[in-house]
């Protein structure tokens, strides 16, 4: 079983886990019924308890109550939420000039946070693993609260902050992100990543994690197979993006393939967002209600997109990891009340690659993963 133990008083609580702790019997029963909500895993209770404790201690920039939420009419089922304070109270984003910008110790980074914001150190028990590989990998993920939360439980996963990695995905970070979703018994737990130029606001490697009770269409959207032996597909009936799928036994293989794609995007100076969620197995058509309820595996959506540097311009919402996945935190009441699904799709399309550029990239990535 995973365990959390206070080590040295100067160190954070430790959450130690192994592959044996992955939860594979997750499913949605119907609509927004989470199905597993009454039997939370130790991972969930540790994050949620730590997050609620820090909220009670006043460590956040604002108090997050129950957010006003509505589902926009239309086939995409966008989940709109009113979160005005995140837009007004969050820390000013850093000036980002390049997708490959180097880490700067002078800028804000996660070595400068209040230590009380840390919930735990997440450490994988790799007994019997490849020792040579382990020597070159960070040994821990620091899990801390996001003091400007999007939703309940919003936390950050930071691979060994002292290593000062810039905001460019590594195999260790991708694998840890997938494994964190597998450790959760709640299909509403999501993880995501914004690259530089894709609304990342801190150039220090981190992923976001949070709970959203509402079902998202991306959990069951149909796909076109591209390199299925590596879990690689293209999303259909969704804003132009790619999809990886993995179950617990294929995590390392699929994490390597994801990094092949994100490394290619970084080398090509293409900004990108990732969104990881429980999802049903990939299929090229709309599935039955029973099949759509399966949540044994993890869907990892990857959106290549136009780079955005400088001021963040949209008044309604920024187009980053959660918005592309169908979760829309609105900055003001008027847009929250009046925005339609068509309005959302028009805004999102402004940030995605043109169709011809996307299809060229699809061909390049398919060849890249096959070679």
Residues identified as active-site: 206
Query: Tokens 């450790």 correspond to what residue?
Result: 183
- The DSSP 8-state label assigned to residue 19 in this structure reads G
**H/E segment holding residue 211:** strand 207-211
Q: Using alpha carbons, select from 205, 184, 217, 199 the residue that is nearest to residue 76.
A: 217
What CA–CA distance (Å, rounded) separates 12 from 5? 9
Q: Using alpha carbons, select from 345, 269, 257 the residue that is nearest to residue 304.
A: 269
Contact 228, 250 (CB under 8 A): no
What number of other Cβ atoms are within 10 A of residue 222's Cβ? 16
Structure tokens at 189: 């737990």
DSSP string, 59-108: -SSS---PPPEEEPSSTT--EEEE-HHHHHHSPPPPP---TTPPP-TTS-
Residue 229: partners with Cβ closer than 8 Å, 6 or more residues away: none
Structure tokens at 199: 């609304």
Q: What angle do CA 89, 318, 49 make, to 5 degrees?
A: 55
Contact 304, 361 (CB under 8 A): yes
Query: Tokens 């209600």 correspond to what residue?
Result: 289
Contact 305, 323 (CB under 8 A): no
Q: Using alpha carbons, select from 162, 279, 161, 168 the residue that is nearest to residue 231.
A: 279
**Collapsing DSSP states into helix, strand and coil, what is residue 312?**
coil
């Amino acid at each position: 079983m995973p365990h959390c133990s206070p080590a040295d008083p100067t160190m954070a609580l430790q959450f130690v886990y192994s592959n044996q702790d992955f939860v594979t019997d997750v499913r949605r029963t119907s609509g927004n019924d989470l199905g597993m909500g009454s039997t939370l895993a130790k991972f969930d209770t540790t994050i949620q308890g730590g997050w609620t404790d820090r909220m009670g201690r006043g460590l956040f920039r604002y108090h997050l109550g129950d957010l006003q939420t509505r589902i926009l009419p239309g086939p995409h089922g966008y989940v709109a939420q009113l979160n005005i304070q995140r837009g007004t109270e969050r820390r000013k984003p850093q000036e980002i000039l390049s997708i490959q910008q180097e880490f700067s110790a002078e800028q804000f980074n996660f070595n400068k946070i209040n230590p009380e914001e840390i919930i735990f150190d997440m450490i994988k028990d790799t007994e019997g693993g490849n020792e040579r590989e382990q020597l070159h990998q960070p040994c821990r993920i620091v899990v801390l609260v996001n003091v400007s939360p999007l939703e309940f439980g919003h936390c950050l996963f930071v691979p060994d902050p002292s290593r000062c990695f810039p905001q460019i995905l590594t195999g260790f970070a991708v694998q840890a992100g997938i494994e964190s979703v597998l450790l959760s018994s709640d299909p509403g737990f999501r993880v995501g990543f914004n690259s530089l130029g894709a609304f990342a606001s801190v150039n220090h490697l981190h992923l976001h994690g949070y709970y959203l009770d509402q079902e998202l269409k991306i959990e069951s959207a149909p796909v076109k197979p591209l390199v299925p032996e590596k879990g690689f597909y293209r999303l259909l009936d969704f804003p132009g993006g790619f999809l990886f799928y993995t179950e617990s036994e294929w995590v390392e293989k699929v994490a390597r393939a994801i990094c092949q794609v994100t490394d290619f995007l970084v080398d090509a100076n293409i900004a990108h967002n990732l969104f990881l969620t429980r999802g049903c197995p990939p299929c090229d058509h709309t599935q039955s209600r029973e099949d759509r309820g399966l949540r044994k595996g993890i869907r990892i959506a990857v959106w290549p997109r136009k780079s955005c540097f400088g001021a963040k311009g949209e008044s309604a919402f920024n187009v980053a990891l959660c918005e592309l996945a169908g979760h829309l935190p609105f900055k003001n009441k008027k847009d929250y009340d009046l925005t339609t699904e068509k309005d959302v799709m028009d805004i999102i399309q402004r940030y995605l690659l043109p169709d011809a550029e996307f299809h060229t990239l699809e061909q390049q990535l398919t060849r890249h993963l096959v070679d």
